[in-house]
């Protein structure tokens, strides 16, 4: 028998990057030394004290039962304490924090919660592709906000037409930004809050790379701005700050109604997250912070190794403010897919073509700083040589 999926499933965008993994594997299978910087999967291990907290918790049979539907109070308290300590933001653990099954799930749930068919969601372009997945499932319409180098990759809020604002229910933002590596300023966030309250739009700030800011600058939290709780929430994942991408744990903080609605939809989808993982996540958020400093330092060393080697070999790479990505303008006029394909087959370096992040990603490739500094320096050298020869 052949089964046909429901309309909402057939609306899902195709996974632009799935072919890349296959092509990398094929080039590797042919015996080449591939430097794979195409993905966003942290390569370093979870800090040992967090792994140890999981081990302890998993040995306690109490964690083997269904956890509370809305997450362990201990984890919500830890998230609130983390926001207080890190950003000076006060949130009530019970009503202003929701435990979510990884940031990606939360982003999709928000579209399901707030978009009726035809409603608009503003998305960054280029941006993290999964915003589009939730919008498509809900039957919503994505309105891309261009992120341009000449505006430091911050969208022009005054460029959105009134008719679009009238239909806008949801607004996704993400700084430090994937893929551009750009950071936001408190002033920008204040402008966002003013626009959002004027147009009664819910802001979802995806703070996935919140911990990763360079040159001693800590990326600002949207929630730290006055009135942010009135208009929005922030999603904080443990995937990047603590190298816990496989653990699938994140939380949302902010507006009470939105937190209640996230809990409501999750009451129907999940029974929260394995309690032992929640125990370990609480340890991550309240435990020693030197692991975060070490991680950020490691990425900064990698960033500098890549940028410097590129420069030495004649390829211009702007330094990102944050995240673990370099957003590299393609200097030879090739389109991003053709460039990435040729770079992989000829120089054995895998990067993500900018077009996969939206129309305004064309002309760039994204390099993940997810290899040791010497490999990144070598990748930059190979890229520069490839450009010179093409």
Ligand X SMILES: Cc1ncc(COP(=O)(O)O)c(C=O)c1O
Judged by the rule CB under 6 A, the positions of this chain that interact with ligand X are 40, 102-104, 128, 174, 178, 206, 208, 237, 239, 245, 250
Q: For ligand X, which is the closer residue by CB, 103 or 183?
A: 103
Q: For ligand X, which is the closer residue by CB, 134 or 140?
A: 134
Q: For ligand X, which is the closer residue by CB, 140 or 181?
A: 181
CB of 88 to ligand X, least distance (A): 24
- In the chain, % helix, strand, coil (3-state, to 5) comes to 50, 15, 35
CB of 4 to ligand X, least distance (A): 29
**What is the SS3 assignment for 194?**
helix
200: preceding bond cis by omega (within 30 degrees): no
CB of 107 to ligand X, least distance (A): 6
Q: For ligand X, which is the closer residue by CB, 258 or 352?
A: 352
Q: How far is CA 113 from CA 74, 128, 272, 276, 280, in A?
A: 26, 19, 18, 28, 29
Q: Rounded to a whole number, what is the largest CA-CA distance in the chain?
A: 62
Tokens describing residue 194: 């003013």
Q: For ligand X, which is the closer residue by CB, 106 or 315?
A: 106
Q: For ligand X, which is the closer residue by CB, 225 or 237?
A: 237
CB of 208 to ligand X, least distance (A): 4
Cα 146 to Cα 168: distance, rounded to the nearest angstrom? 16
CB of 31 to ligand X, least distance (A): 30
Find the length of the chain: 390
Q: Are residues 50 and 284 in contact, defined by beta-carbon separation less than 8 angstroms?
A: yes
Check residue 89 and give left, alpha or beta (phi > 0: left; psi -120 to 50: alpha): beta
CB of 101 to ligand X, least distance (A): 8
């Amino acid at each position: 028998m052949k089964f046909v999926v429901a309309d909402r499933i057939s609306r899902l965008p195709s996974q632009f990057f799935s072919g890349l993994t296959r092509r990398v594997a094929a080039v590797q299978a042919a015996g080449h030394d591939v430097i794979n910087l195409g993905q966003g999967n942290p390569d370093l291990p979870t800090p040992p004290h967090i792994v140890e907290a999981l081990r302890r918790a998993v040995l306690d049979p109490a964690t083997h039962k269904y956890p509370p539907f809305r997450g362990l109070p201990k984890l919500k308290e830890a998230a609130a304490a983390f926001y207080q300590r890190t950003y000076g933001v006060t949130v009530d653990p019970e009503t202003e924090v929701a435990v979510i099954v990884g940031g990606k799930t939360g982003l999709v749930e928000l579209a399901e919660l707030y978009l009726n068919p035809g409603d608009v969601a503003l998305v960054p372009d280029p941006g993290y592709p999964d915003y589009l997945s939730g919008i498509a499932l809900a039957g919503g319409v994505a309105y891309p906000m261009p992120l341009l180098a000449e505006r430091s990759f911050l969208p022009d809020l005054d460029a959105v037409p009134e008719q679009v604002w009238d239909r806008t229910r949801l607004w996704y933002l993400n700084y430090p930004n994937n893929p551009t590596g750009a950071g936001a300023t408190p002033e920008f966030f204040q402008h966002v809050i003013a626009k959002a309250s004027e147009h009664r739009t819910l802001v979802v700030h995806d703070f996935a790379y919140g911990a990763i800011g360079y040159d001693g600058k800590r990326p600002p939290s949207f929630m730290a701005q006055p009135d942010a709780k009135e208009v929005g929430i922030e999603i904080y994942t443990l995937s990047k700050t603590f190298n816990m991408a496989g653990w699938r744990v994140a939380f949302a903080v902010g507006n009470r109604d939105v937190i209640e609605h996230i809990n409501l939809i999750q009451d129907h989808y999940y029974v929260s997250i394995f309690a032992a993982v929640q125990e370990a996540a609480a340890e991550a958020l309240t435990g020693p912070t030197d692991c975060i400093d070490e991680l950020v330092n490691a990425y900064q060393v990698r960033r500098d190794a890549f940028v410097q080697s590129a420069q030495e070999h004649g390829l211009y790479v702007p330094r990102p403010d944050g995240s673990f990505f370099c957003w590299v303008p393609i200097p030879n006029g090739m389109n991003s897919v053709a460039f990435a394909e040729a770079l992989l087959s000829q120089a054995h370096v895998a990067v993500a073509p900018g077009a996969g992040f939206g129309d305004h990603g064309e002309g760039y490739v994204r390099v993940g700083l997810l290899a040791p500094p010497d490999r990144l320096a070598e990748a930059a050298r190979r890229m520069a040589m490839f450009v010179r020869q093409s």
